[in-house]
Chain A
């Protein structure tokens, strides 16, 4: 790899081909630099960063999804609402957004599009044809057996710096978001189906909670019933009391320590 001197940095193009910023001697020894194998290899290497970023996008999206799904769930502790499902029936709400609300998904979409563009400007395929003093394409360089068409990955330091800057701000945003705190007052069930099911034990007289406005909290206990019970239900609920004992609806033998 050739070294770009710092004084010449400002003159380098953003994403353009520059002789001082391409991988020299990229083509493995014995392979024709103008041939298809060299081209395919250069295409793969030049686009590898795109694949890496796409993988990162899935991981990033997954973290945002987990955090925002719990934000959506947390709200059931403070207001009653109908469920938001993929195929709504009756009073259920539709998934206007799939897993990220528009306030997150649209900026994320714009950022990742820009990031893909920056990465494309950072690493690209450079294909150069050399002409001789008479203006004819060189068929073969004197003294060598190489075809003087060169397929090699090129890079743009400005593009790389832009990519790193944007990538770092995405990471900072994630850290900032992760260090927010939920409002509390509800168990964080996450994407754990066991915990999700544990929160869904409405009382027997709750009529079709899946299609009603529901809220999470402690249901009013029948007289003398210990312990209490918390669930997602369309019945009236109150916030659970600190240091109080909550379990199921049936009889319980002993109080947990």
Chain B
């Protein structure tokens, strides 16, 4: 239902749900409508005949920038300011262990109640409860912009150029028999055996190279763990980095 002045009708539950989001992007101002234009006070006087009883500023970010507390997306159905907000009767019903429960609030939305303090009429600051009948919401087109920073883009482009250049260099410039895979090393040593390791035919990667000698050694059959192939330092470093 769309009202003539561009405000959208929302029932209490829809109103609580739509306005309890972290960032309000498709809606703006909210009117909570009550039918209580007349309230009788304990002394029997008829006091309220008005149209606007209270308001909250929706600039949540005031709070974050150390400004005045006003309205909070995850708290307005359970609290309020000094002069305007939900009644304690209502907040007791929707809070669980001090935490505001949105699902409870939606389930009991028909009973939503606000209070206000009329300081002019009542120096004693009597709290007046107002039953909320429905809400009127101002819808607004959602604004989402593409953020674009030239400086960061230039840095990214330069980094990419440097990366492509390095790749081209390593592919076209470094072509003289690279040692990339183990077969490259084996091929090289088979073609030109290294005189320094003659006789050390059972040598392993983790052997103490200072005791190498050409007397060879006795063969023992061992089945190493796969971890044995990597240096302990690289294993430890990788595990630390994971943590």
Contacts and interface: CB of A to CB of B under 8 A. Distances in A.
Contacts of B188: 210
A179 B58 contact: no
B223 A201 contact: no
Contacts of B2: none
B219 A194 contact: no
Contacts of A230: 201-202, 219
Contact of B61 (A52, A133, A148, A256): A148
Given A141-B65, A178-B227, A247-B214, A187 B204 contact: yes
B22 interface: yes
Contacts of A197: 189, 193-194, 196-197
B40 interface: no
Interface stretch (B42-50, B77-85, B111-119, B178-186): B178-186
B206 A256 contact: no
B89 interface: no
Max count, chain A CB within 10 A of own CB: residue among B61, B73, B178, B206: B61
A85 interface: yes
| B interface secondary structure, majority | loop
Contacts of B223: 181-184
Size class of the B contact interface (CB-based, 8 Å): 35 or more
Interface stretch (B6-14, B160-168, B235-243): B235-243
Contacts of B175: 87
Contact of B229 (A60, A95, A190, A247): A190
Given A56-B238, A133-B28, A143-B67, A85 B184 contact: yes
B228 A188 contact: yes
Nearest to B238: A59
Interface in A71-101: 71-73, 83-87, 92-93, 95, 98-99
A195 B224 contact: no
A76 B215 CA distance: 24
A128 B147 CA distance: 10
24 contacts: A36-B151, A66-B231, A72-B182, A83-B187, A86-B177, A86-B184, A87-B177, A99-B180, A133-B58, A138-B59, A150-B61, A170-B242, A174-B238, A178-B235, A179-B226, A181-B225, A181-B226, A182-B224, A189-B204, A201-B197, A243-B219, A247-B217, A248-B216, A256-B216
Interface of A: 5, 7-8, 17-20, 24-25, 36, 39-40, 43, 52, 55-56, 59-60, 62-63, 66-67, 69-73, 83-87, 92-93, 95, 98-99, 127-133, 135, 138, 141-144, 146, 148, 150, 167, 170-171, 174, 177-185, 187-202, 209-210, 214, 227, 229-232, 240-250, 252-256
Closest 4 CB pairs between A and B? A247-B216, A190-B205, A248-B199, A200-B189
Interface of B: 22-23, 28-29, 57-62, 64-67, 73-74, 99, 101, 140, 143, 145, 147, 149, 151-152, 175, 177-178, 180-191, 193-194, 196-207, 209, 212-231, 234-235, 237-239, 241-242
Given A184-B222, A210-B191, A252-B216, 20 more contacts: A36-B151, A70-B229, A71-B226, A86-B180, A129-B145, A133-B29, A135-B28, A177-B226, A179-B227, A182-B225, A183-B223, A187-B202, A188-B228, A190-B205, A196-B185, A198-B197, A199-B186, A246-B218, A252-B199, A252-B214
